[in-house]
Amino acid sequence: MIKKHWAGIVASLVVFLLFLTSLAAFNRVHTTGAFEVPLLNWFAVSGMSVTWGLLFDSLSTLMFTMITGVAFLIHVYSIGYMADDDNRARFFWYLNLFVFFMVILVLSDNFLGMFVGWEGVGLCSYLLIGFWSNNRSYLTAAKKAFVMNRIGDLGFILGLLVMFLTFGSVQFSEVFSLVQQVPANDIALILITFLLFVGVTGKSAQLPLFTWLPDAMAGPTPVSALIHAATMVTAGIYMIARSSALYELAPQVLTIVMWVGVATAVVGAVIALRQSDIKKVLAYSTVSQLGFMVASLGAGATFPALFHMVTHAFFKALLFLGAGSVIHGMGGEQDMYKMGGLKRDMPLTFSVFLVGALALSGCPPFSGFFSKDAILLAVHHASPIAFYTLIGVSILTAIYVARMVFLVFFGSQRSDTHAHESPAVMTVPLVVLAVLAAGAGFYHPELELIMLGGTVILLALIWGLTYPRYAVKAVDDRCDQFLSFDLVYHALIVTPILASGRLIHSFFDRDIIDNTAGGFGELISGLGQSLRSLHSGSIGFYLWMITAYVAVFLIGFSIWPF
Amino acid sequence: MSITFFWIFSVIAVISALSVILTRNPIYSVLSLIVCFFCIAGHYLLMGAPFLSAVHIIVYAGAIMVLFLFVIMLMNLKDVPEFVSQWWHYILAGVAVSALVFGVSCQLFQSYGPRVIGDMSLKALSHALFTTYAVPFELSAILFLSAVIGVVYLGKTE
Amino acid sequence: MNPEFHYLILGCILFSIGVLGVLIRRNVIIVLMCVELMLNAVNLILVSVCEPIFVFFIMMVAAVEVSVGLALIARIYRKFGTTDISTFGQLKG
């Protein structure tokens, strides 16, 4: 058995070691204080020198611990999930590569090193989404993810450029100390923060660059759990949190950030309400929750955003892995309307999934309640309109979560497949995540009893009202293309680009370039043909040519003796 | 005195050269060329190289032209047209020749110092031939050998 | 004017007559003879200006060239039946 699973075992052990290291670093930072580990000089060109180093402070060790912990659990889960896949060794290699890049991203002490990790996780996301490469549509989804990320990365690079031009460096320590001397509302600072946020839009799936995330569900479920719930999409949140010194001095950009986050939260929740694929519901839910985090950052509150990021990592990974367990047990079926009544056949999966669902809805005493509360409070201070909008989104969240749980686990069995519970190697990580999702909320700053009571009542109302519609009757109200931004993009961007490409090809390529290139060839050929006529075969002509040449040479030599 | 001979020899040389290229009968051409060679030999005498003129007559008039005569007699040249057919060929030829002469004269007519060589006697010539120019002399033997082989091969009838 | 000058002019005249003959005549034997004429003009100029040793070597080369050339012409006559150079178009193309 070890021989069959050697790749997964080795990969999980490596990540576990990394996790232990992260715990040690976390401990050290919280006892002794932040420390740096400079590694080596990367390059120095025309006055810009970039060194490679690691920065351990409370923010980076928090990320480090969360990433390696969740990644370890998902590695263990994948041993079971990918047990029958022939390419599982390559899968674990990609997973480990991803963890490597993500760690580089959070531990780097300069923006350029972070960007290396940024790009690397985008690459691994592409590799992992298109992992089952025989399917063409999966590869297209992978390409789409990568290209959209790339569009955001362009903004990131431009932001780095302006940053270097303004501050002369991309090291965190230098930039953050130099920025104190910059006056507020400085145009360069606004540019930098805005461009970096464009990068976040791509990486953390905000409006308008979020359509790659639902398509990314083409990858194996552990990939969705790790990359698209817990780690890669949180890279943007980390980046803004890290650069808070910059963003504090550009309040206009912060306003934009908050409203983009709010809009994303709304759109994500609304689309999730009408999806029929269980993974797509979770994907749009991730988009919506990321909108929450970004809105909190835009409201100036970094801690609630990070708190929600951590709790969201736990319960969203739990939900994804649970969904994976369901899909695995149903033999690959992902349509919720073909499931039903699974709580009898998969009780363990049902219970952990319920924990995750309650946490996502923000039900106390689970962790989601505390983190979502913190965000709502922070946003309330910034803008009441945003506050009420986000409350509306939370209601929608509860509705679509309840719909999902009821359709999958309650009601009558709508399929003939006899679902079986997953093996222990998959269920143990689920339980661990459930414990974390439930208990991580003890670390809370403020607690208002009004919020507690109000939330409980509201959630009970919502779950009670949706129960008859989805659990008993299983009303089919799917609309998978609801509010599809993809169609808009296709019409506005893809079609004109393809049409102009065809136009250029027919006019420019064919007529101008081909004719010019062909013309050159014909010119030389004609020249050769005319020179060929000199070989007339007539000896008299040859003799005449000789004397003419000698005469020309002699005359030329007297004009220009060399 | 020598000037008179110079002019006599020059005029006869030019007239015979002209007749080489202008007569219809190839035998007449050969004979005109022989006369020309004799005149040039006379010029060598005027320049003070008697051995050279003797060798000139022996080699050219005595060997080469005899060879020409033999070959002409071996062929039936009754129907061979002698001059180029199209009239504009003459114009082109004239143009080329004048250009050539112009070019040659541009290069040729520079001021030379007094005549460098003093001794054209036989003794000096043979001394130079066997010391300074010994290598070309030996190489010329190889040249003759190759020519003989070539001619013998080319002349074979199958 | 020194004597060299007269010989140079004579040599040039003879040389140009030789070139004219090469271009005008159609019988290949006559063409060869005009080549000999050119060689002699050059000999004359060389003797008047330079060493006479050159003349020996030129004469030698001329003899060799004439013998091989006439052998070739005999061969050509045997094959084509004529010595008219306008019919020797085999080098065409």
How many domains does the structure of chain C reveal? 1
Amino acid symbol at A387: F
Across chain C, mean pLDDT equals 89
Q: At what angle do helices B87-108 and A539-559 cross, to 10 degrees?
A: 30
For residue A167, the SS3 value is helix
Mean pLDDT by 10 residues, chain B (158 residues): 89 96 93 96 89 93 94 84 85 91 82 59 83 92 95 87
For residue C53, the SS3 value is helix
The per-residue DSSP string of C11-28 comes to HHHHHHHHHHHHHHB-BH
pLDDT exceeding 90 applies to what percent of chain A?
20
User: Per-residue pLDDT for A75 more than 80?
Assistant: yes
How far apart, in whole angstroms, are the C-alpha atoms of residue B31 and residue B14?
14
Residue A506 placed within a domain: yes
H helices of A108-135, in order, are 111-129
CB within 8 Å: A543 and C90: no
Enumerate the residues of chain B whose CB falls inside 8 A of the CB of residue C19. Answer: 96-97, 100
Lowest mean pLDDT among A162-176, A313-327, B114-128: B114-128
Please give the pLDDT value at position C2: 67
CB within 8 Å: C86 and A536: no
Please give the pLDDT value at position B115: 58
Residue C89 placed within a domain: no
Residue C43 placed within a domain: yes
> Given this structure, which CATH class describes domain B1-76?
mainly alpha
Residue A501 placed within a domain: yes
Lowest mean pLDDT among A145-154, A324-333, C60-69: A324-333
Across chain A, mean pLDDT equals 85
Range of the domain at C55: 3-84
Residue A509 placed within a domain: yes
Residue A165 placed within a domain: no
Residue C91 placed within a domain: no
Tell me: cis bond preceding A365? Omega within 30 of 0 counts.
yes
How far apart, in whole angstroms, are the C-alpha atoms of residue B71 and residue B30?
11
CB within 8 Å: C33 and B68: yes
Residue appearing with tokens 């120095």? A44
User: Per-residue pLDDT for C56 more than 80?
Assistant: yes
Decide if C37 touches B, using CB distance below 8 A. Answer: yes
Q: At what angle do helices B65-74 and C28-49 cross, to 10 degrees?
A: 180
Beta-bridge mates of residue A41? A51
Structure-token pair, residue A201: 């839009």
Decide if C57 touches B, using CB distance below 8 A. Answer: yes
Beta-bridge mates of residue A54? A37, A108
A506-532 tens-digit pLDDT: 877 777 777 888 888 899 999 998 888
User: Per-residue pLDDT for A219 more than 80?
Assistant: yes
H helices of A442-514, in order, are 449-466, 485-489, 495-504
User: Per-residue pLDDT for C1 more than 60?
Assistant: no
Range of the domain at A503: 492-527+536-559
A441-499 tens-digit pLDDT: 766 655 667 777 778 888 888 888 888 777 777 677 777 777 778 777 878 888 888 88
Q: Please choose, from the candidates A311, A297, A260, A266, the residue with its C-alpha nearest in 3D space to the C-alpha of residue A284.
A: A266
User: Per-residue pLDDT for C11 more than 90?
Assistant: yes
When comparing pLDDT for C8 and B58, which is higher? Answer: B58
A410-426 tens-digit pLDDT: 877 777 677 777 788 78
User: Per-residue pLDDT for A440 more than 90?
Assistant: no
DSSP state of A210: -
- Name the band, by pLDDT with cuts 50, 70 and 90, for residue A184: low
Q: Which residues are within 8 A (CB) of A155 and not within 5 positions of it... i.e. 6 or more apart? A: A195, A196, A197, A198, A199, A201, A202
* CATH number of the domain within which C68 lies: 1.10.287.3510
User: Which DSSP helix (H) or strand (E) runs through B144?
Assistant: helix B134-154
pLDDT exceeding 70 applies to what percent of chain A?
97
Which residue on chain A is closest to B109 by alpha carbon? A558
Contact of A267 with A207, CB cutoff 8 Å: yes
- Exposure of A261 by Cβ count < 10 A (0-12 exposed, 13-18 middle, 19+ buried)? buried
Contact of A269 with A284, CB cutoff 8 Å: yes
For residue A134, the SS3 value is coil
Please give the pLDDT value at position A164: 85
Decide if A543 touches C, using CB distance below 8 A. Answer: yes
Please give the pLDDT value at position B155: 86
For residue B112, the SS3 value is coil
Best A529, A531, A538, A542 member to test C by mutation, with max C CBs in 10 Å, is A538
End-to-end C-alpha distance for chain B, whole angstroms: 58
Lowest mean pLDDT among A15-19, A37-41, A390-394: A37-41
Residue A540 placed within a domain: yes
Contact of C64 with C72, CB cutoff 8 Å: no
Provide mean pLDDT across the span C43-60: 87
Lowest mean pLDDT among A228-242, A290-304, A431-445: A431-445
For residue A57, the SS3 value is coil
Decide if A537 touches C, using CB distance below 8 A. Answer: yes
User: Per-residue pLDDT for A354 more than 60?
Assistant: yes
Please give the pLDDT value at position A211: 85
Residue A278 placed within a domain: no
Beta-bridge mates of residue A277? A335
Residue A508 placed within a domain: yes
Decide if A546 touches B, using CB distance below 8 A. Answer: no
A538-555 tens-digit pLDDT: 888 899 999 999 999 998
Tell me the shortest Cα–Cα distance from C17 to chain B, in angstroms: 7
Please give the pLDDT value at position A446: 59
Lowest mean pLDDT among A59-68, A90-99, A378-387, A501-510: A501-510
Which residue on chain A is closest to C92 by alpha carbon? A537
H helices of A299-382, in order, are 302-329, 342-345, 347-361, 367-382
Structure-derived torsion over alpha carbons of residues A165, A166, A172, A178, reported in degrees to the nearest 10: 150
Residue A500 placed within a domain: yes
Tell me the shortest Cα–Cα distance from B115 to chain C, in angstroms: 6
Please give the pLDDT value at position A451: 73
CB within 8 Å: A547 and C19: yes
Answer yes or no: pTM beyond 0.80.
Answer: no
